[in-house]
Amino acid sequence: MAIIYNEQEKTYTIQTKNTTYQMAVNKLGVLLHTYYGRKIENDNLSYTAYGDMWPYTPKNEEIKGDEVWARIDHIPQEISCFGCGDYRESAINIRHADGTMGLQPIFVSAEIKSGKYSLEGLPAFYGDEGETLVVTLKDRVYDVYLHLYYGVLPEYDLITRSLVIENKTNEKIHIEKALSLNLDFNYGNFDLVSFEGRWAQERRFQKAPVLHGKTQVFSTRGASGHIMNPSCMLANKNATETTGDVYAFAFVYSGSFLISASRNIQDNTRLVIGINPENFDFTLEGGEKFQTPEVAMTFSYNGFEMASQSLHKAIRNNLCRGKYKNARRPVLINNWEGTYFDFNADKLVSMAKDASELGVELFVMDDGWFGKRDDDFSGLGDWFVNEKKLGCTLGELVKRINDTGLKFGIWFEPEAINEDSELYRAHPDYAFKMPNRQPTLARHQLILDMSRKEVRDNTYDQICKILDSANITYVKWDYNRNITDLYSCEVPAEKQGEIYHRYVLGLYELLERITSRYPDILFESCSGGGGRFDCGMHYYMPQAWTSDDTDPIERLKIQHGTSFIYPVSTMGAHVSASPNHQTGRITPLKTRGNVAYFGTYGLELDVNKMTDEEKTEIKRQIKEFKDHYELIQRGEYSRLISPYETDSLYCVWQVASADKSEALVCAVKHRTEASTHPEFVRLRGLDETKYYKVNDDKIYKGATLMYNGLMLAESWGDYESQLYYIEEVK
Ligand code: GLA
């Protein structure tokens, strides 16, 4: 049993393999948050839920004395609502029909169920092996209910939280804020680790102290975005990769979000996560419910690595779905950086022929094959083949590619539309536009109003027609701008505040329809590179293009930052040409390969232009990648030396098998200096007592490699890298 109810103490305790989460109902029926941290068996931890007896602090009206547990602004709570004395950042704000604001939720009942809950119309972690706790609370006055959902996957130390707001009054209420989680800590010395970026620079590690006031990351863009990722970690000041307390959070949502941490009165900390209240105003008629997306969280007492590894396993096994979640995915070549818009069928087939000789298994035709699309000014929305450009039908092209031995994949940007397109000329109302304003273009395009079923149906029909017309086994689903001009033409004025969220719900509905209709297709999500890299999208697509920046040295920071939350198996990574198209940097082909190994590994260049020597190297890489595929994709991932580390010339990553029988270590030199000395890197995840052979050569004891370290080979020149295969000697 992962969830335990103690009737006498009125505590609900969630136990995972290594952690404990506890809540308790106090004398007033307030649901206290009493603990989240390292495992504690069989104890009531509610002594920590106290408030100071300061003057001016609101307390519940029924309490006549100075009981500390009634100080609502001080005590840690499972759900904090605006309006009744808690001045900290709240999770919920309701405007009632009479114009009053606020909720005072009081415990009504709780239910423990086997299996992890699922959410209708929203992505969520799943698992029959898990458990669910549903706690129902009701406002003291109004018939407004909150149902708090806690899902538990004990093996991965994963707890999820989502909630439902239910309006049982006969009148309409407005939800002005519906965050999924508030998590209270009764101390306040945390850093907030988050992942910031921009186009081609996604998810770089950043750390900021949680101060009095607020430390926030957020998106107001209608999508999770390049700029900040919907995930974070709360870490002890001195936490390292392997020491210290670290809480990690991933929001399972692809729209605008808010993550806000604040150090409060009494020096306690509150973290809130949910849909960004900016541009959000949801009307609930009497009898209606609102479901928030879920937040997944884990706790580690062994630093960042343990938190990352728990999330990696849970995302890989209990969030990603479909045939390819665990099956080996084909090594692909994508023509984007090889040709951009300038291609026809003959060019693609010639690339496929060369690629097939190297061991590539799938050819992906990127942007430019449809409508009128020779640049990015026109064509989006017209998902029919430009046969004139290709020189043949799609079926003929796919057959020719298949004849080279490669499977075929295709690019779509289904949520976008160019004004210069047949679809726009026929249905200008399909795009988001405000009645009295010129719409704002980005990359010369607008966004389709996916909150409307008619628009989704049109996109669905067009995509299915293409996918049914040929032997297509892979789809890249792109999304290259964020929403502006948010206005849905069929919705009354007072419901326009629902559209941001309804867009995301519409997108999820469309993705569910398409991915379930084509279970054999591998779907890869993309958004101008990694602009919508989140757990919401991973529910539908097991991998996502990590960044449009394919420079392997830049990728060190991008993939390193991404790895704090997301597993290697989700990170699209390709070998591209040198000099690199985004930076002009020249790097060894081997290094480009080694970095792409710590992702899905593929190619993104004009293979026809490669020298014989380069082709031989790619052939070797593809074989090496396939040989280590299982280890790379399913191994325990460790960040041994960070690319931000100024004392080292190297960034070093490792994957080790769960049974500690093998590991792969990749060391990439990102800075070149003269007069260097050998560097040592301490490996992790090996068995102290076992012996290991390094690159089929020298033998070391596991303890030696972990506590004294592996000596990195010295290298000459810029951006060299080494790969070490560590194998147990049996
Ligand atoms: C985005 C993607 C690229 C490519 C282009 C095509 O930028 O991230 O990989 O597909 O669009 O326009």
Report how far ligand 1's centroid is from the alpha carbon of 467 (Å): 20
Cα-Cα-Cα-Cα torsion 479, 483, 485, 490, nearest 10 degrees, comes to 70
- CA of 570 from ligand 1 middle (Å) equals 17
Whether 61 has a pLDDT exceeding 70, the answer reads: no
How large is the average pLDDT for residues 647-656?
Answer: 97
Residues with CB under 6 A from ligand 1: 336, 366-367, 411, 478, 480, 526, 528-529, 545, 548
Q: Which of the 8 DSSP states describes residue 106?
A: E
**Shortest-distance Cα residue to atom 7 of ligand 1:** 528
In angstroms, the Cα distances linking 612 to 353, 603, 604, 609 are 14, 16, 17, 10
* Phi, psi for residue 569 in degrees, rounded to 5: -65, -15
Distances (CA, A) of 659 to 167, 303, 652, 689, 727: 51, 21, 21, 13, 12
Give distance in angstroms: CA of 230 to centre of ligand 1. 22
Q: How far is the CA of 588 from the centre of ligand 1 (A)?
A: 24
In this structure, the residue with its CA closest to atom 6 of ligand 1 is 367
User: What percent of the chain lies above the pLDDT cut of 90?
Assistant: 93
117 pLDDT more than 80? yes
> What pLDDT sits at residue 52?
65
CA of 568 to the centre of ligand 1 (A): 21
Using the atom order of ligand 1, give the atom closest to the CA of residue 529: 8
Cβ–Cβ < 8 Å for 529, 546: yes
What φ, ψ does residue 356 adopt, rounded to 5°? -65, -30
Tell me what pLDDT residue 65 has: 55
Confidence band of 85 (pLDDT split at 50, 70, 90): confident
d(CA 26, CA 385): 64
484 token code pair: 């502006």
Mind listing the pLDDT tens digit for each residue in 176-194? 999 999 999 988 899 999 9
Q: What was the pLDDT predicted at 495?
A: 97
- Mutation probe of ligand 1 site: the residue of 339, 476, 478 with most atoms within 8 A of C-beta: 478
Q: What is the DSSP letter of 429?
A: G
Catalytic residue among 184, 305, 524, 534: 534
Cis check for the bond before 579: say yes or no (omega within 30 of 0): yes
Dihedral sign of CA atoms 603, 717, 722, 565 in order: negative
Strand partners, 620: none
Going from the C-alpha of 543 to that of each of 425, 524, 536, 673, the distances in angstroms are 34, 5, 12, 36
Of residues 285 and 71, more confidence is placed in 285
pLDDT at 187: 84
- Exposed/middle/buried for residue 520 (C-beta within 10 Å: 0-12, 13-18, 19+): exposed
| Ligand 1 mutation pick, 526, 527, 574, max ligand atoms within 8 A of CB | 526
**Rounded distance from Cα 478 to ligand 1 centre (Å):** 7
pLDDT at 64 over 60: no
Residue-wise pLDDT tens digits, 334-361: 999 999 999 999 999 999 999 999 999 9
Ligand 1 atom with the smallest distance to the CA of 548 is: 8
What phi and psi, each to the nearest 5 degrees, are found at residue 44? -95, 120
| Predicted local confidence at residue 209, as pLDDT | 96
The average pLDDT across 594-613 equals 98
Summarised one tens digit per residue, pLDDT across range 270-307 is: 999 999 999 999 999 999 999 999 999 999 999 999 99
DSSP string, 113-163: EES----TTS-----TTSEEEEEEEEESSSSEEEEEEEEEEGGGTEEEEEE
pLDDT reported for residue 74 = 84
Query: Is the per-residue pLDDT at 59 higher than 70?
Result: no
CA terminus-to-terminus distance, the chain: 39
Residue with tokens 């080694």: 594
Residue to substitute in 374, 411, 547 for testing ligand 1 pocket (most ligand atoms within 8 angstroms of CB)? 411
- Tell me which residue of 275, 156, 178, 163 sits closest to 224, measured CA to CA: 275
> What structural domains does the chain harbor?
3-318 (2.70.98.60), 332-481+522-635 (3.20.20.70), 637-728 (2.60.40.1180)
Mean pLDDT score of the chain, rounded to an integer? 96
Positive/negative CA dihedral, 81, 277, 158, 48: negative
Kindly report, residue by residue over 235-248, the tens digit of the pLDDT. 999 999 999 999 99
Q: How far is the CA of 481 from the centre of ligand 1 (A)?
A: 11
Tokens standing for 701? 């004891």
Do the beta carbons of residue 193 and residue 235 sit within 8 Å? yes
Sort 507 into a burial class: Cβ within 10 Å, 0-12 / 13-18 / 19+.
Answer: buried
How deeply is 399 buried, as exposed, middle or buried, from its count of CB atoms within 10 A (0-12, 13-18, 19+)? Answer: middle
For ligand 1, mutation pick of 198, 202, 335, 336 (most atoms within 8 Å of CB): 336
CA of 534 to the centre of ligand 1 (A): 18
- Distances from the Cα of 123 to the Cαs of 68, 217, 251, 605, in angstroms? 40, 22, 10, 34
Length of the chain: 730
Helices (H), 470-605: 499-517, 535-540, 552-562, 589-597
- Distance from residue 200's CA to the centre of ligand 1 (Å): 11
At residue 393, the pLDDT reads 98
Q: Which two tokens stand for residue 414?
A: 């289904």
Which comes out higher in pLDDT, residue 46 or 497? Answer: 497
Q: What is the pLDDT of residues 459-468, one digit of tens each?
A: 999 999 999 9
The single-letter DSSP state of residue 368 is S
- Taking residue 489's Cβ as centre, other Cβ atoms within 10 Å add up to 14
The H or E element that residue 111 is part of is: strand 105-114
| pLDDT for the residue 186 | 85
| Residues 200 and 582 sit within 8 Å (Cβ to Cβ) | yes
DSSP 668-723: EE-S--SS----EE---SS-TTSEEEETTS-EEEHHIIIII-EEPPP--STT-EEE
Q: Whose CA is nearest to atom 2 of ligand 1?
A: 528
| Strand 543-545 with 571-572, pairing | parallel
Return the pLDDT at 66: 52
Distance 323 CA to ligand 1 centre (A): 25
Active site residue 727: no
The ligand 1 atom at the shortest distance from the C-alpha of residue 604 is: 9
d(CA 124, CA 163): 13
Mutation test of ligand 1: which of 367, 445, 477, 600 has the most ligand atoms closer than 8 Å to its C-beta?
A: 367
pLDDT in tens, 428-457: 999 999 999 999 999 999 999 999 999 999
Question: Is 534 a residue of the active site?
Answer: yes
What whole-number distance in Å separates Cα of residue 167 and Cα of residue 176? 14
Confirm whether pTM is higher than 0.95.
Answer: yes
Nearest CA to ligand 1 atom 1: 528
Closest CA to 167 of 282, 50, 303: 282
Closest Cα partner for 560 from 670, 656, 661? 670
Coil, strand or helix at 630: helix
As a dihedral over the C-alpha atoms of residue 135, residue 138, residue 143, residue 146, rounded to 10 degrees, the angle is -40
Q: Which residue among 155, 288, 614, 727 is the active-site one?
A: 614
| Cα-to-centroid distance, 528 and ligand 1 (Å) | 5
Q: Strand runs (DSSP E) across 560-660, as ranges?
A: 571-572, 574-576, 602-604, 636-641, 650-656
Q: Which of 601, 655, 653 is nearest to 632 (CA)?
A: 655
Q: Which residue puts its alpha carbon closest to atom 12 of ligand 1?
A: 367
Is residue 700's pLDDT more than 70?
yes
Does the pLDDT at position 56 exceed 80?
Answer: no
Contacts of 54 (CB under 8 A, 6+ apart): 71
Q: Ligand 1 atom closest to Cα of 376?
A: 12
Residue 356 Cα, ligand 1 centroid: separation in angstroms? Answer: 23
* Ligand 1 mutation pick, 480, 482, 600, max ligand atoms within 8 A of CB: 480
